[in-house]
Every structure is written in structure tokens, then in C-alpha cells.
Structure 1
Amino acid sequence: MLSRTYIERAILGACLYCDGFPQVAHILSAKNFISSAEHKSRELFEVMASLYPHTPIDLVTVSAKYKQMHPVESEQMLMHWIFETANEKVNANANVISWAFTLLQLDINNKFRAKLQEWREVRIANHDHVEAASLLEILEASNEPETVFDMVENAMAYFEHHNMEEELEGTRELFGQVSDKCRNIKKVESIKVALKYLMSVTDCSNNQVKRECNVFAQAIADMISTGATNPRYTEAVELILK
């Protein structure tokens, strides 16, 4: 398993140098990235998200927007954080969606592990040794981040069976967020299928149809990037998918 920092640099490299941001915008958010003195991945992705879709994402625009949003950072350090993504850009572009899913699961896994450890410490303090041991078992089973969705479901079933209410409610809250994210990913993938057919229509010779299709495509892109919905566009997408 590659390190998390390498995966984040690969994704950011694809976004910055290979126009990869639209491919991962519906999968990841800035909070899925690390923010530390050594790694400013979260800040870089946040800057890219603020530019998309109305401003091109490249070295110039990201550098300028980053300095505007984070004026206290030195320019030398900014260039270091940006250029450290360059080495991974070529290999990352073809697999950026796969890397995005990997990072999403890794981030969820880390956050769930932290919560499990927090609950375990509370159980130990309260001398609830059986529950503390159970939480340790779940922690040890969470070493494989690619199974995080199954792990969360299994943990919920266990907590419900053993009446561990605090852990159950906390996991439900996390899993609800994960479920919403998965539904959104599936929705956007369906829209991408619709856009594929839509763009094939723009190859026709009728200029008016071309213009209308391009306007519709831009509206769909705006809807995806902002999270806003429009019933007319949704109905049109459903018609295309049929």
C-alpha cells in the first residue's frame, strides 16, 4: 500500500497538470486531504475547488489563488508544496479516479479508527472491559482500508446486537455521511454517461442544436460543481439515459 502522502500528491498532480479535477470533484472534498506544516494538500485542493469550473486549474491560477487565500504563507514554501506534486502527474492521470476512491476509503478508515480508539478509552475508564475488548477487535480488523465500508456495516450490526448505544449512534452518523457520498458519486457517474451521449449529439451539423447542447452541458457541469439541483436538468438527464 502506497503512503497517503504519495496518493494525495498523485491526485493533486493530475488535477494541477493534467486537468484531472473534474474527474475527482464528486468523490473528494478538501477535508479528505492532510493539512500540516509539511503537507498542504488540503489547502491546495481547496484552492482548486474554489476555481472550478469557471477558472482553469493550472500552475499560474492555483499559485495566485493560493497566495490570495493564504497570504501569510511564504512564496518559496508555496512553490515547494505545488511542485512536489509534479513527479506523480504522469502516472496519476490515467488512474486518478481509482486513487480518489483509495484516498476516500483511507480517510474514512482513519477517522473511524480514531473514533473507535476514543470510545475504547472511555470504556476502559468506565471499567467496561468486555466492550473495550470488542472495540479493540474492531480496531485490529480495520487494518485493510479498502474494506472500510464492510467494516462500518459489520461494526454497526455488532454495536446494535450488544446494545452499545453510543458507538452505534456515532457509527450511524459516520455511515450516513458515507452513504450520502456514495449516492452522490453514483449520481454524478450517471450524469457523465448522459453527457457522453449529449456531446455526441453536438457533432451534428445543426448549429442551433450544438449551441443548446453546449449550454446544457455547461449547466450540468455547474450543477455538479456547486451541488445545486435543477428539476429541468434532472428531467433532461433522465430522458437521455432512457
Structure 2
Amino acid sequence: MPHIDDFVKDIMENGVSAKTPHEAEIKELTGVITAEKKKIEGEYEKIGRLYYKNNSHKTDGELGALVAGVNASKKKIKDSKLKIGQLFDITFCEECGEQVDEDALFCNNCGAKMPVKLLPGMVLCKHCNKAVREGIRFCTNCGHSMLEEPEPPKALKECANCGFTTNDPDLMFCENCGRRLVTEDGEEVTQEEEAPKEPTKKVCTNCGFEIFDVETMFCNDCGRRLVEASELENAD
């Protein structure tokens, strides 16, 4: 026995005989089915557009793959339009599409930064984004130095316990938690010819915490600086 969907589909594709009982009513009902299907397709499209509008940044999962496909197509369309403008020697804003002057730094319509076209022998100033002659020491637009700025020095030492960093070559222990610092390659910072120290008993005079350790300088419970037990005995 045929499924109702197949049965009705056959009627809609092939029609019904004029001698079929209720011919007019059947045609009216199939017309309703056709109209509602078109309506559903329209609603599907609206749902898809609404989802894309609210989730155009989400490109993970099954729906994300569709979103990524739409984004890629949109980019190809935009790039093609901009290329057409270039072929006519007309510059358009990549954000809003308005025509802008060829040497404009920003779009007069939406304020978006415009890409700078560099001629041979020209470079961009990293501070004002203006094209200037290559080799000059100072930007002719903003006056800033065009020389390469040195990168800030990397931290030479780091505390593996709390993340404290320092470039001080003489500092051996963390200023925050008192643990011994390590170098960039993970080696512990040591002094030259430093004699190994035997673990000594240390006591917290605030909460009574005790530990036998050379490196730990602060209490693990309350954070107060530890005192060697021998110092307390001598004080007594």
C-alpha cells in the first residue's frame, strides 16, 4: 500500500481524471498543499537568514560549516566587486561600499580605515599609517621616528610557583613567594660556586607552621616570612 505522501505526490504531478469523484475539491486541496509548501520554504529561508545574522561568527558544528560557507561566498562577492572598481580606477570602502578618494586614509561615510596604496620606494609609517619615502628617519606626516624600535627585553628569570618575572641578574628568589627563580630554559638560578645548603627547620611566628626546607622563605598557610628555628632558640 502506498504511503500518503507518495499517493498525494502522484496526484499533484499527474493530476486526476475528470471522471474522478470530488475532482474540484481534490484540486483545491492540492492547491492548498502547494501554497503551504511554498510558505514553509519561505519561512525556512527567514529562519536561516535570522540564524546567520545572529551567529555569523560561529563556524563550528554542522550549522557552523554552513555559516562558514556563507561567509566565504560573501567575501568572494565583496572582493569581486572591489576588483571591478579597481579595473575602473575607482576606490570603494570595503566596509560600507561608498566611493572614497584614492588617497583617503578613512572612509568619509563610515570612518573605516582605508588600505594605503604604496608606490615603489614608499613605506608605511607604523604610527599614522601614512605612506612616506623609504629611508627617511622621521615621518613627514606625524614626525615619529621611522627607525625600527627595539623589542622589550624578555624576562630572564621566572618563578615557577606564582609567575613572577624579572630581568635582575642578581635576584635569586621570587619577591612574591620566596621560591627560587628559574631561567628561560628552566634551569634554577644559582650563584657561582654556591655551596649546597642543608635543609634547616623554619618556623612561622604567626601561625606556628613548620618546615624543613632551604628555598621556602614564606609560610604556606598565612604568607608571613619564616624564621629559622635556630634564630628563635638563640633569641630565647
Pick the TM interval, shorter chain.
under 0.3
TM-score normalised according to structure 2 size = 0.21
- The structure where helix makes up a greater share of residues is 1
TM-score (norm 1): 0.21
Q: Name the one with the larger strand percent.
A: 2
Q: Which structure has the higher relative contact order (CA within 8 Å, separation 6+)?
A: 1
Looking at CA atoms only, which structure, 1 or 2, has the larger radius of gyration? 2
